Amino acid sequence: MERHNVSLEHTKRINDYFDFIERDQDGLNEEELLKTAVPDHIRSSLLIHITQSMILHCTFFDNCESGFIRKIMQNIEQRFYGTGFNIISLATPSDGMYFVKKGIVALLKRKQDETVKVIRKVKADQSFAEDCLLKPWSKNPYFAKALADSELWFLSRSTFNQVIQDFPKSHSILIRQMATNTRENIKRRKSIFDVQQTIMKSDRSGLFFIHPDSMFIQCWFGVILLVILYSVVVLPFRIAFMENHEISVGWLTSDYLGDVLFLADIIIRGCFLGYYEDNHLVTSRAKILSNYIHSAKAKWHVISFVPLEVFFFFFPTFCPFWKLQFWSILRLNKVLRAVEISYIFHRVESSLAKIGVKVPKNPLRVWKLLMLTLLSAHWVACIFFIIANLNHHSFSLEDQKNWAKIEGILGDNPECPGVAIETPAMMKQYVASLYFSVATLTTVGYGDITASEDSAPEIIFATVILIIGTGIYTLVIALLEDIVSQLDVTSSLYKMKMNNIGTYMQLLGLPDSIKNKTTAYYDHLWRTQLGVKGKSLLKYMPRSLRCDMKIDMLSHLIPKTFFINNCSADFIANIVDALTLEIYLPDDNIFDEGQRCDALHYIYSGEVGLFTSKKVKFKTVSNCVLSEGFFFSFEPHACTAKALDSCEVFQLSMKVSIR
């Protein structure tokens, strides 16, 4: 887009679209998937399933034939608009109606004093601009702007006219409804809308609810993630290394602050957090509670919140674990919240993407794996030291057999209760334990810190960790291999394509001139578009964005085309969508003299020479439309057009335009 000087507005729209499909659709282009990956009869069923809620909620189609409504469902087009983008402008009359699948759209009107008034906010399963289907607007009565990332579906006037021809009864019904669209009818619709709003409010029991995509809930998940990580990291550390420490006010404050946040999280999710069901936002208090109770996470939330530390008042010590250690053991149920770290992390990642913080996917995957490895190493280090410390307290000085004693990081006379271990000694024990766990999990295994041969628990534990470490190491290798392959996937596809083309040309025994020209073409294609042809490159975008970008790129050429200029926006979009982008290298013929004109050529970049039959150049052109005079008459070209340098040419085939 930068190379083609696409405007900042269209560039941002396209970037927002790809962010949207990566965030909400796992990178899938739904329009292209439905068009290419499924047969037509299944595609029709899928479209009906996807769009039926929007169409059936639209009062504009009341009393119409079922066949007509099904046909409409199968012929509307998906569009995406990022927050703040204009959907309908005041300058260009709308040529179709819009259905809202996701997001919020504001219908605005500019008053005489240049202030903007909000007429209505259109939400999911509502529509707007219906009237322009039956009576083309010469001027838009309002303009529409997306208040949030919105997925809309568009029914163009031309598509509507094609469908309505087969359903005259529905046509008569719509005409009659439009004829009775008086002020009283508008008031009736407003009252119906008010009733619907009242029903929705009563369905919500008149109580507050939290939108699942709101910034508050995204930040809230970030806070809960920090509390979970606190429990996962701090609790095993205190159990293993903070020997003979008392329960301080600081530890009580931090622990119970986390409990308060966990309780608040249960209340928010069970009472206030709305959710989507079949793309509908559910806000009913009873349904939210029922959905939460039946969710898999609810039981983990409840179990983790059970205050097991009440047993501390009956058994304040449990040697060799002193007060803080035993308190931490009783709080280990908080670690069960770790089952949703992946889910919460995904929500935090999505919220960062919405505010514009872009994190590269492959480095993020490596970072996640690194964090998983470090957390695993932390737990292994704590458990490995606990095994050694239990041996240290359970046997006399002569019978003590554990790795920590061999390394000299334990004292000679263990006491419980005793003097609280000092921070330097505690960190020395932790570092040594962590060193063993990291070396073992990564299967490096230097062997300078190992389990004691005379301690069966240490040998068994070390063996299990070696097996787990082998699995982690295999996962790391597989992930890195996948990342490396993704980094070079485009290059690999290009090389495979070139190998196939080379084999094909060799089998045909083509002359060197054609081979060199083909190789030069693909070399240029790799330098400019990473080996992807223009037609394929534009297919990565949905039709609406693709058309808008082409119109933006060819804004200086489209007004020069006599049969496109001053036409409706829908007609122009259909013509522009049929344009294919081709690259011509120096000395390539765009068309030859005497060749029947079957395509219109828009010279977007580069220079083209026009030659006579005697190969004499009589004119050099650029940024223009070629063959327009011969296009509709099917006359042969009067000259030869040859690229003088690397040219990008948009072409409109006669077969496509007739169709």
- 3-state SS of 367-381 is HHHHHHHHHHHHHHH
Q: What is the pLDDT of residue 236?
A: 93
Query: What is the rounded average pLDDT of the residues 495-514?
Result: 77
- Separation between Cα atoms, residue 312 and residue 314, nearest integer Å: 5
pLDDT in tens, 52-80: 888 888 888 888 888 888 888 888 888 88
Q: Which of 34-43, 50-59, 110-119, 418-427 has the lowest mean pLDDT?
A: 34-43
Query: Rounded mean pLDDT of the chain?
Result: 79
Cα–Cα distance measured from residue 333 to residue 141, given in angstroms and rounded to the nearest whole number: 60
Residue 532 has pLDDT above 80, yes or no: no
> Helix crossing, 423-441 with 215-241: angle to 10°?
110
CA distance linking residue 58 with residue 121, whole number of Å: 15
In angstroms, the CA 7 to CA 549 distance is: 9
For residue 235, is pLDDT > 90? yes
Section 170-193 average pLDDT: 60
Mean pLDDT over 28-42 rounds to: 69
pLDDT for 539 equals: 67
The DSSP symbol for 133 reads G
Supply the pTM of this predicted model.
0.54
Element (H, E) at 52: helix 40-56
Residue 309 has a CB neighbour count (10 Å cut-off) of 18
Contacts with 495 (C-beta within 8 Å, 6 or more apart), sequence order: none
Q: Model confidence at 360, in pLDDT bands (50, 70, 90)?
A: low
Angle at 520 between CA 514 and CA 521, to 5 degrees: 90
List pLDDT tens digits, range 287-340.
889 888 988 888 889 999 898 888 887 776 777 788 888 889 999 999 999 988
Rounded to whole angstroms, how far apart are CA atoms 177 and 264? 51
The phi, psi pair for 65, rounded to 5°, reads -65, 145
Lowest mean pLDDT among 84-88, 123-127, 497-501: 497-501
Q: Which of 115-129, 243-257, 557-571 has the lowest mean pLDDT?
A: 557-571
614 contact partners, CB below 8 Å, separation of at least 6: none
pLDDT of residue 483: 64
Tell me the per-residue pLDDT of 123-149, one tens digit each, with 9 for 90 and over.
888 889 888 888 888 888 888 888 887
Reply yes or no on whether the pLDDT at 260 is more than 90.
Answer: yes
Report the distance separating Cα 68 and Cα 15, nearest Å.
36
Q: Rounded distance, CA 479 to CA 373, Å? A: 13
- Amino acid identity of 599? A
Q: CA-to-CA distance for 647 and 426, rounded, in angstroms?
A: 71
Q: What is residue 445's predicted lDDT score, i.e. its pLDDT? A: 58
If one compares 640 and 356, the residue with the highest pLDDT of the two is 640
Extended beta strands in 220-350, E state: 275-277, 280-282
DSSP notation for 579-618? -EEEEE-TT-EEE-TT-B--EEEEEEES-EEEE-TTS-EE
Tell me how far apart the alpha carbons of residues 440 and 432 are, in angstroms, rounded to a whole number: 12
Q: Who's near 586: CB < 8 A, 6+ residues apart?
A: 643, 644, 645, 646
- Both structure tokens of 128: 């707007």
